Structure formats: C-alpha cells, structure tokens
Amino acid sequence: MEKTLLSFGHGFSARALAARLIPQGWRIIGTTRSADKCEAIAATGVEPLVWPGNDLAALIKEVPHLLVSAGPGTEGDPLLAAYRDAIKAAATNMRWVGYLSTTGVYGDHQGAWVDETTPLTPATKRGQARVEAESAWQAIPDAPLHIFRLAGIYGPGRGPFAKVRKGTARRIIKEGQIFSRIHVEDIAQALELSLATPQAGAIYNLCDDDPAPPQDVIGHAAELLGLPLPPAIPFETADMTPMARSFYAESKKVRNDHVKAQLGWQPAYPDYRSGLADLLARGGA
C-alpha cells in the first residue's frame, strides 16, 4: 500500500496527477458518483469506485495517501460528513492528505495581490463553503494535511478555443477585473512534488506568474486561431448565468512564491500565452 492514493472525487486535476504517478508504479483508486464513468476511468489505469454506493471506511484506514477534490455540499465536505470518525482514526497512519481548495477563499481585493497569509474574506457562497471545508479538515487531529488553493483551471478540453471557433466567445469587459489561472499540468506537478516531500500543515497557492484580464485570454486565443476578435460586451449588460457572473465578484492577483520556495515548483506554463500555445499544439482543445 506504500504507493497507493485514494482520489476522492476523481476529477480534472486528479486525472492529470494520476497520469504522472501510474507510470511510477502508483496504485490510484478514484471515486466517482456515476457508474457510467467507470469504464473511462479504468481506461486511464485508475481503479474506479462508485461513491455513494460503496463503503470507504476500510479503505480510508488502509491508504497512506488521500487526495480530496470534491467540493463541499449542503452538509459541508462530503468525505468528512460521511467518514469523519474513520479519518480521525486513520490520521496518524496517513503520510499525506491533499485538499484541493480555491483562491476564492480570499474574496475580492480590487486587483491587489494576495498570498497565503492574506485573511480569508470570501465574497461568494462557494468561497465561504470552501473556507468552512478547509477549517473542517484542519480540525482533524494529526492529519498530514496539505491545502492547495487553485486559481482558474484550464487545460486539454478546458480552453477557450472551442467557443472562439464556434463564434460564441465573448470578451466580457469589467474595468479593473483581473484573474489568476493555472494549467492543469502545473497543478499535477505541484501535487507530485508535495507527495514526494510532505510538509504537514502546508498551504499553497497554485497559479501562474501572470494574472490577466479575462478578455485578454479570449483575445489571444482568437489571435492564435487567426479568427476575428470576439465582441467586447460590458459586464453590466452581459447576458450571463448567475454562476458565471459570480466569478466577476472578485478581482485579485495571486502570489505563488511560497510553493516555489518550499517545493521547488516552477510552472511549465507561467502565463496564459504559453498555456494556450500548449493547448493548440495538443489539438486546440
């Protein structure tokens, strides 16, 4: 079991990590809520496990490494809600627990810089739920917890090119709005480094080196494709879903100095230009 990882809520970032670990002889067990996804998960070399539907208590007591990607629900963190006692009992035997959070915990800073010491003042319900989930994990005695606060994630299958090609992309303009983002492969690299050199209690911001307005990213994607610049639409009049609009409630630039210093991490895609070039080289996902 030494190189076994239970990936709870085996999603986009966890899949990228698994692709790095499996060639090194790791056993990855990934949970999914849908039995329909099991075949696709198994095809990547990960052992699929449907949850809810299977009891994870015995597995939690055995695995030395745990990655939690699933977001909080109405009862808070879903894994803690179901297995808090089992996790408490197993904590001293675990070598590494990784919790994937979000830079949304910092809230709105009107474009100013934030780092891991910045007070948590989330501006959205989702951000507040993440703060509460982080606190719940931190309250587990002796758990070798590592919190990773992720900026906006993109990567293969999650890029702006499809919308630009379809002509449905828009450049939403909100004065002063700035986001940090990160390529999924850079998340996987940081998680791999952390697994190799655990630092229990660590909190890391994971983002690239170049916070930028969202309209710049869309515009650069169009430029790479040789297509017309998508229309600029004022935020105030843009037709957006409530969730999409909520992303614009926060503006900040996120620092990543701490993870670089402690883990020796360097993003392979330090800005959106290099990241989008990678996606285009992979087929323009």
Q: Give per-residue pLDDT as tens, 258-279.
A: 999 999 999 999 999 999 999 9
Q: Give per-residue pLDDT as tens, 112-128.
A: 999 999 999 998 899 99
Q: Give per-residue pLDDT as tens, 67-95.
A: 999 999 989 999 999 999 999 999 999 99
Containing structural domain, residue 78: 4-155+182-208+254-269
Q: How far apart are CA 115 and CA 93, in angstroms?
A: 31
pLDDT at 284: 60
Number of domains present in the structure of the chain: 1
- Is residue 246 assigned to a domain? no
What percentage of the chain has pLDDT greater than the value 70?
Answer: 99
- Is residue 282 assigned to a domain? no
Q: How confident is the model at residue 7 (pLDDT cuts 50, 70, 90)?
A: very high
Q: Hey, what are 113's tokens?
A: 């810089």
- Is residue 20 assigned to a domain? yes
User: What CATH number corresponds to the domain at position 8?
Assistant: 3.40.50.720
72: three-class secondary structure by DSSP:
coil
pLDDT greater than 60 at residue 285: no
- Is residue 160 assigned to a domain? no
86: three-class secondary structure by DSSP:
helix
Q: How confident is the model at residue 282 (pLDDT cuts 50, 70, 90)?
A: confident
- Is residue 95 assigned to a domain? yes
pLDDT at 244: 84
Pairing of strands 113-114, 152-154: unpaired
Mean pLDDT of 201-211: 98
- Is residue 94 assigned to a domain? yes
Which residues fall within 8 angstroms of residue 264, CB to CB, at 6 or more apart? 193
- Is residue 186 assigned to a domain? yes
- Is residue 175 assigned to a domain? no
